Amino acid sequence: MYREIRKMTAVIGSASVICPASPPRARPQVGDFLALDLGGTNFRVMLVKVGEDLDGQWKVDTKHKMYSIPEDAMTGTAEMLFDYIAECISDYLDQQNMKHKKLPLGFTFSFPVRHEDIDKGILLNWTKGFTASGAEGNNVVGLLREAIKRRGDFEMDVVAMVNDTVATMISCYYEDHHCEVGLIVGTGCNACYMEEMCNVELVEGEEGRMCVNTEWGAFGDTGELEDFRLEYDRVIDEGSLNPGQQLYEKMIGGKYMGELVRLVLMKMVNENLAFGGEASEKLKTKGSFETQFVSQVEGDSSDFRQTCNILRTLEMQPTLADCQAVRMACESVSTRAAGMCGAGLAAVLNRMHKHRGDDILKITVGVDGSVYKLHPAFKDKFHATVHKLTPSCEITFIQSEEGSGRGAALISAVAYKMASLIGH
Ligand code: BGC
């Protein structure tokens, strides 16, 4: 049985299984699925209806509710965090009048995990400000199942756990069958891609491809980025909840972008290059320059009205020159992030091109995340870097809509079907 599940995990890792055009090895189980999405400061519960139309094409309908995760649940104990998650699910089921149903559930869990089965993953380490104790080293699906059991007011059949990059790739694959890369540039940053099985040492078999979650946010943790990291990066890292970890992510992700800008501004103040050499208590406070301010400043018109308002909320009295300086600081930080992220994706695509041997690699990248979607200039600068560094690739970027939830439900739909086929 273990071998079968292992094989199943590999097959589900391969996008071909959910391709309606090429013969799928298992049709999806049609019906209602619950999808959970945990990976940032918000937690989403989603009801996904997977259906088939008359031509056998998949249809996916979703309804979701967002819950913000209280600080004490993020940083308390695993039991507190998963009890809160179970409470949100219970609330959502009440609202949808579905408490009586034991639905199959797909869990998008966006942290580094060692997968042992499609429904079993050991949390390696928390990222993005989560520290809930008692979770690292444990099976996350087990923690969820226990919390649901503790509540006792509903039942769920947890069938699959996936990373958000994988869910994004799968949900985009559903629209474009060239989609073999998933990328997230949001609170955190990461990518997955379809690797040739012959290069995947951990799994038996040489045929076909399998999805590899790179967890590239951790690039640099063994010194690779030392030539590129600046004093601001070091301050961010030292003051973080996971010092020495996720160093590449800390140069790109939305969790850190605003704070990087604030540190640059403080340096300008200290060197008497802006704000007459004076900073308010607010500007001196860690976290006060939010990442959304970076987007707002860079999206501002030439009168700097928005920038001025933001700085006033930080109790600063900016001149026009100060506003220009703030804009330049924002642009420097976000342009560097776009370049760094673009270089990472180009490395992945060039590797895929080399291993596949085609003259030109025609590939689609499914992307999600607040920095990519909401920042006014990130996307274009990022695309420009990727194109420049991948002369042998023809790349299409598609933005995923609710990819985390939809992807998790699609994977669950296939896993559910396959489990019933092999009498699981
Ligand atoms: C996590 C990844 C995740 C990424 C984007 C990182 O901090 O380690 O698993 O894919 O954030 O959410």
Catalytic member of 37, 83, 119, 164: 164
CB-CB contact of 30 with 22 (8 Å) = no
Residue 169 structural domain: 19-175+401-413
What's the CA-to-centroid distance between 226 and ligand 1, angstroms?
Answer: 22
Q: Provide the domain count of the chain.
A: 1
Catalytic member of 37, 83, 119, 128: 128
Q: Examine residue 150 and state whether it is found in any structural domain, yes or no.
A: yes
Q: Is 164 a catalytic residue?
A: yes
CB-CB contact of 228 with 111 (8 Å) = no
What integer pLDDT is reported at residue 2 of this predicted model?
A: 29
Q: Is 128 a catalytic residue?
A: yes
What integer pLDDT is reported at residue 422 of this predicted model?
A: 54
β-strands 120-123, 113-117: how paired?
antiparallel
Q: Give the torsion through C-alpha atoms of 40, 150, 103, 405, to 10 deg.
A: 0
Q: Examine residue 88 and state whether it is found in any structural domain, yes or no.
A: yes
CB-CB contact of 180 with 124 (8 Å) = no
What's the CA-to-centroid distance between 172 and ligand 1, angstroms?
Answer: 18
Q: Examine residue 407 and state whether it is found in any structural domain, yes or no.
A: yes
Q: Which of 311, 355, 63, 43 is nearest to 180 (CA)?
A: 355
Q: What share of the chain is helix, strand, coil (3-state, %, to 5)?
A: 45, 20, 35
Q: Examine residue 55 and state whether it is found in any structural domain, yes or no.
A: yes
Q: Which of 314, 369, 410 is nearest to 59 (CA)?
A: 410
Within 8 A by CB and 6+ apart from 330, the residues are 261, 293, 294, 297, 298
Q: Examine residue 406 and state whether it is found in any structural domain, yes or no.
A: yes
Ligand 1 pocket mutation pick from 41, 113, 164 by most atoms within 8 angstroms of CB = 164
Low-confidence stretches of the chain (pLDDT beneath 70): 1-29, 58, 419-424
Distance of alpha carbon 411 from alpha carbon 10, whole angstroms: 12
CB contact burial 379-418 (16+ within 10 A = b; e otherwise) = bebbbebbeebbeebebebbebebbbbbbbbbbbbbbbbb
Q: Examine residue 28 and state whether it is found in any structural domain, yes or no.
A: yes
Q: For residue 80, give the CATH number of its domain.
A: 3.30.420.40
Q: Examine residue 158 and state whether it is found in any structural domain, yes or no.
A: yes
What's the CA-to-centroid distance between 123 and ligand 1, angstroms?
Answer: 12
Distance of alpha carbon 234 from alpha carbon 247, whole angstroms: 9
Q: Which residue has the tokens 């703030």?
A: 326
Q: What are the pocket residues of ligand 1 if the criterion is a CB atom closer than 6 Å to any ligand atom?
A: 39, 110-112, 127-128, 163-165, 184, 186, 188, 190, 215, 217, 246, 249
Q: Examine residue 32 and state whether it is found in any structural domain, yes or no.
A: yes
Distance of alpha carbon 265 from alpha carbon 269, whole angstroms: 6
Ligand 1: residue whose CA is nearest its atom 3: 110
SS (H, E, C) 50-90: EEECCCCCEEEEEEEEEEECCHHHHHCEHHHHHHHHHHHHH
